[in-house]
Chains A and B, each alone.
Chain A
Amino acid sequence: MRLYFRYFAIYLRGLMEYRASFVMTLLSQFVSSFTGVLAVYFMMERFHTVEGFTFPQVLLCFATVLMAFSLAECFFRGFDTFSSMLGNGQFDRMLVRPRGIVFQVVASRVDLSRLGRLLQAVVIFCYALPASGVSWTPDKVLTLVLMVVCGMLVFSGLFIIYASICFFTIQGLEFINIFTDGGREFGQYPFVIYGKEVLRFFTYIVPLALFQYYPFLYLIGRSRWRGYMLFPLLSLLFLIPCAVLWRVGLRHYRSTGS
């Protein structure tokens, strides 16, 4: 962990060289995700409720997914930009250093400019937390924290899948963005509004609903079943196939070197 902060310190020092660019990216990230909020706002203004969810409730859901995603993008950016690491030989360099590969990938590319989105999520939370009508007892706070943390890990898992595919194709395949960026966009609303099939897909295949929809039901008091509280933890099972795929990819790379 200490080493992680050393990497982080180097990153910060590099950042200071490009302060203006950093601030601009931060701002644009912050502003661009506003469009999402506006879309939700206009929608809700017309219909008032979606499947029985009120505007502040939808915003709460929105902010949770946004925060999880931006945390993942910020701290697991290395997997997201993995194809460039392979392309420029940076990855070979990691293989000749005496540290874990996953650690090096994660530590070598932190991207704080992604915090623009995080900031956005915080702003929305400031409004939605009190307005959603949830009484914030300790177990509900815990639920929300679990939702964000596990969400971040599931999104990271998707980045890892993306990176693993790079081992075979060198260039990234954009289709995985359907689940990462797409998941973020879809995740603005509770998944149930898209219908049963979509909900099922995001429960059993790419378990975004496990940290978004089900615990959310408990959070806003639609369901009293406390088990939903722990559903985000279930979504972590998704990391197992991700890790397997990563290992397969790494073995392939080390046997082809291309």
Chain B
Amino acid sequence: MIELNHISKTFRIAKRNAGMKEAVKALFRKEYTEIHALQDISFSIGKGEMVGYIGPNGAGKSSTIKVMSGILTPDSGECRIDGLVPWKNRKEHVRRIGVVFGQRSQLWWDVPVIDSMELLRDIYEVEPARYCRNLDMLAQMLELGEILRTPARQLSLGQRMRCEIAASLIHSPKILFLDEPTIGLDAVSKIAVRDFIRQLNAEQKTTVILTTHDMQDIEALTQRILLIGKGRILLDGSLEQLKARNSAVRTLTVEFSGGDFVPVEGEGIHTVQLRSGHGVFAVDTRILSVSKAIEQLSAHAEITDLSVAGISAEELVVSLYEEFQI
């Protein structure tokens, strides 16, 4: 379905130091820094897959999405999506995809959402019967109801995001790109959005690619994770595989009383979080067994409660970022 081979993209950014003198100098001669936004990116995604695309800010996530949605032309490399090269067959290509930019609206601001939907129907030339079917389905699944008759500017963020998602699916695309779809949403809206995406993927077999910083999104949605850092794909695998890589790490959550806890740093143990009466520690069981760790901890204070858990997705990502130094 999606095939990227050795995609590279370099930007030239004018660099300028602070100060008036430098500003004047920049008028005459500009110095450029080359930024390798994407370096030799290759991956393929099959039909109906749901892939989480993660990485720190500025790692190249958005650039990749832009290449795949046909906005950006890469310097080199091949990209075929459903048989088409996005930047060469722009119009045909974009008919088959839906794109949600979490931070940017695609709805017409001053008119009821339903008007935007109707305009989109005409832009994408969706047949009336299919439009009605899609709209009914989306309205029901995303619980839009009355929201559709409200002007977009009066919607809450959660309501708006549900409408954005509906708007990008009105032409029944085969592929859906979601760029940070849950950013800024409250817990209830997040869950609603996640449930919907999962249902869409299961029922319509829509291929979903989602970028996010929210690890709960990843945990709830994706079977597969692509980790990108400094423009390179660093890891490609399932969440379980990634967790297995770090299976030796256990998280110890401790409640204690009496005495001030000093942060423990030692062979195989380090402090993740420490408040009065509460501490979280990561223990690498290859170096230090859990019982030894507890022994060490109880030397410092009176432990009243204790739990041991495997690594969470959040911690996994932090440890991956550390591992790859991105």
Contact = CB atoms under 8 A, between A and B. Distances in A.
B69 A13 contact: no
B71 interface: yes
B175 to A, nearest CB: 12
The secondary structure that dominates the B interface is mixed
A256 B71 CA distance: 10
B92 A98 contact: yes
Contacts of A10: 108, 111, 115-116, 119
A6 B119 CA distance: 7
Interface residues of A, number: 25
Nearest to B103: A89
Interface string A5-26: 0110010011001100000000
A255 B122 contact: no
A98 B84 CA distance: 14
A254 B73 contact: yes
Nearest to B72: A257
**Contact-size category for B:** 20 to 34
Q: Is the interface of A mostly helix, strand, loop or mixed?
A: helix
A13 B111 contact: yes
Given A98-B95, A99-B123, A14 B110 contact: yes
Contact of A96 (B71, B108, B110, B122): B71
Contacts of B109: 14
B111 A254 contact: no
A97 interface: yes
A216 B110 CA distance: 43
Nearest to A18: B110
Interface in B1-21: 11-12
A13 B94 contact: no
B97 interface: yes
A7 B119 contact: yes
A38 interface: no
Contact of B11 (A2, A13, A96, A258): A258
Interface string A67-111: 000000000000000000000111011011111000000000000
Contacts of A89: 101, 103-104
A151 B115 CA distance: 34
Interface in B48-74: 63, 66, 69-73
Contacts of B119: 6-7, 10
B277 interface: no
Nearest to B104: A89
B91 interface: yes
B281 interface: no
A17 B151 CA distance: 10
Contacts of A97: 94, 123-124
Interface in B214-243: none
A3 B101 contact: no
A26 B106 CA distance: 28
A251 B72 CA distance: 9
B148 interface: no
A171 B97 CA distance: 30
Given A10-B108, A258-B11, 10 more contacts: A3-B122, A10-B116, A10-B119, A14-B108, A89-B101, A95-B71, A96-B70, A96-B71, A98-B90, A99-B91
